[in-house]
């Protein structure tokens, strides 16, 4: 493999970003297994993906920290990172931390503003000036590490929802917003994506933040010949929904109601406790079922912050359905998971596959990555099985035998 890949994460010192870096280095050192990293299976070998140990990490964050400090906090709070593993990789984590630069919290909403620990991130500044700074950070990262490709992943906290009618629909409208210093419309995720696409970096929006891949940015990506995909990583309850709902469809069982309730801790839960941030998250979780089943049904997702859970989350779902002779029945499931442990390997998978798209000169929405998202772009297919069939087809069409 001659290609050098850089992965630049927005929200680098968060739980997912930190767990991803620790995991990649621990797997490469043989300290843990590669369980969860689908692209590390032998069947993916023909793709000649960048080895996990050779990925160069960097990023932006609005909180001063290091990967080592963040990993230690995770290890003590949720025990998802083993302290002995952390001790073995910590010198490298401290070196990688120097690649993380100050991000921006411009117009990020009250909940996220409270988390900001850097005056540079909190300062207003100009939109053009901020975008130029973000672009400069990416360009310097690429040059310093002699990278062939860079993938930017948005792992930041969910921003307040931005109404569709307020979002720029064309690159020209976006440029006008920047020139007008319209800080009421421009969110941080928009600036990060804008900088990434202009620098020729693939962009992945792993958050529900609606501004990150608005129409203007999708058009900009196409114009620049850059691949992108989003939105909102599918890691837990919605993953189960997208795998289980097709069962009811295939057996012609009528789902009447699907009620879900989630409790989670950590910063994500704290931010989602604010209604303005919660709106986009609930929308992405609620949209899956009707898309798969083909009809409207009673569905609701409740999300509450429980501080003591740290990075753990629990989802309880109740499904009320009708069968033969119109007899009503029900089923329930409970999902207990560790958010970062579920999400980190998905990000590694997508970054490696995004590098493949960059290497092959592909651009626009990476539709084959739909199984990784709750609200995938450029398509309405939500059935997890069909999404994975589409991914396999994408790989086979390129002469790669992956089943």
Largest CA distance in the chain: 68
Strand arrangement of the beta sheet that strand 328-338 belongs to: 298-305, 254-264, 312-322, 328-338
Range(s) within the chain of domains with CATH label 3.40.50.720? 5-233+341-397
pLDDT at position 4 over 80: yes
- What whole-number percentage of the chain has pLDDT above 70? 89
**What DSSP assignment string belongs to 167-203?**
S--SHHHHHHHHHTT-TTT--HHHHHHHHHHHTT-EE
Residues 6+ apart with CB under 8 A from 287: 374, 375, 382
pLDDT of residue 109: 65
Is residue 188 within 8 Å of 103, Cβ to Cβ? yes
Q: Strand 312-322 to strand 328-338: parallel, antiparallel, or no bridges (unpaired)?
A: antiparallel
The confidence band for 193, taking pLDDT boundaries of 50, 70 and 90, is very high
pLDDT at position 157 over 80: yes
The confidence band for 162, taking pLDDT boundaries of 50, 70 and 90, is confident
Residue pLDDT, tens place only, 58-75: 999 998 999 999 999 999
Question: Residue for token digits 């900009």?
Answer: 220
pTM, two decimal places: 0.91
Residues 6+ apart with CB under 8 A from 146: 4
- What whole-number percentage of the chain has pLDDT above 90? 71
Residue pLDDT, tens place only, 297-346: 999 888 888 988 888 889 999 999 999 999 999 999 999 999 999 999 99
pLDDT of residue 184: 81
Closest CA to 374 of 237, 190, 255, 214: 237
Q: Which of the residue ranges 209-213, 250-254, 396-400 has the most confident prediction, judged by mean pLDDT?
A: 250-254
pLDDT of residue 275: 54
Which fold does the domain 5-233+341-397 belong to in CATH? Rossmann fold (3.40.50)
pLDDT mean over 178-183? 89
Phi, psi of 305 (to 5 degrees): -90, 125
pLDDT of residue 284: 56
Closest CA to 137 of 58, 217, 224: 58
The residue among 171 and 105 whose pLDDT is bigger is 171
pLDDT of residue 91: 96
The confidence band for 143, taking pLDDT boundaries of 50, 70 and 90, is very high
Burial of 145 (0-12, 13-18, 19+ CB in 10 A): middle
Average pLDDT over the chain, rounded to an integer: 90
pLDDT at position 361 over 80: yes
Burial of 331 (0-12, 13-18, 19+ CB in 10 A): exposed
pLDDT at position 280 over 80: no
Residue pLDDT, tens place only, 13-52: 999 999 999 999 999 999 999 999 999 998 888 899 999 9
CATH number, span 237-337: 3.30.360.10
pLDDT at position 129 over 80: yes
Range(s) within the chain of domains with CATH label 3.30.360.10? 237-337
pLDDT mean over 221-240? 94
pLDDT of residue 234: 94
pLDDT at position 256 over 80: yes
């Amino acid at each position: 493999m001659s290609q050098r890949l850089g992965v630049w994460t927005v929200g680098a010192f968060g739980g997912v970003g930190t767990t991803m870096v620790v995991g990649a280095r621990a797997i490469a050192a043989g300290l843990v297994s590669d369980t969860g990293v689908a692209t590390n299976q032998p069947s993916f070998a023909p793709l000649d993906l960048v080895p996990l140990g050779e990925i160069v990490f960097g990023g932006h964050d609005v909180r001063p920290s290091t990967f080592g400090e963040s990993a230690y906090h995770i290890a003590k709070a949720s025990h998802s990172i083993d302290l002995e593993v952390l001790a073995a990789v910590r010198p490298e984590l401290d070196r990688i931390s120097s690649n993380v630069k100050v991000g921006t919290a411009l117009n990020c909403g009250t909940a996220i503003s409270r988390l900001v620990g850097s005056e540079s991130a909190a300062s207003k500044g100009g939109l053009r000036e901020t975008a130029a700074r973000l672009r400069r950070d990416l360009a310097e990262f690429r040059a310093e590490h002699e990278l062939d490709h860079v993938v930017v992943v948005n792992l930041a906290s969910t921003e307040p929802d931005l109404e569709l009618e307020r979002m720029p629909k064309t690159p020209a409208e976006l440029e006008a917003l920047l020139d007008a210093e319209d800080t009421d419309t421009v969110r941080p995720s928009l600036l990060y994506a804008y900088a990434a696409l202009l620098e020729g970096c693939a962009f992945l929006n792993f958050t529900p933040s609606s501004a990150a891949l608005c129409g203007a940015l999708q058009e900009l990506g196409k114009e620049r010949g850059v691949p992108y995909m989003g939105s909102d990583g599918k890691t837990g309850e919605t993953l189960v929904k997208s795998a289980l709902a097709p069962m009811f469809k295939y057996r012609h069982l009528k789902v009447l109601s699907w009620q879900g309730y989630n409790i989670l801790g950590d910063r994500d839960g704290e931010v989602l406790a604010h209604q303005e941030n919660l709106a986009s998250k609930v929308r992405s979780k609620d949209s899956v079922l009707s898309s798969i089943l083909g009809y409207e049904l009673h569905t609701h997702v409740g999300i509450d912050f429980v501080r003591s859970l740290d990075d753990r989350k629990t989802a309880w779902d109740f499904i009320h359905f009708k069968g033969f002779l119109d007899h009503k029945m029900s089923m329930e499931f409970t999902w207990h998971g560790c958010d970062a442990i579920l999400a980190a390997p998905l990000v590694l998978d997508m970054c490696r596959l995004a590098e493949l798209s960059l290497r092959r000169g592909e651009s626009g929405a990476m539709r084959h990555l739909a199984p990784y998202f709750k609200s995938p772009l450029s398509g309405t297919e939500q059935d997890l099985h069909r999404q994975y069939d589409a991914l396999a087809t994408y790989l086979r069409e390129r002469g790669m035998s992956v089943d």
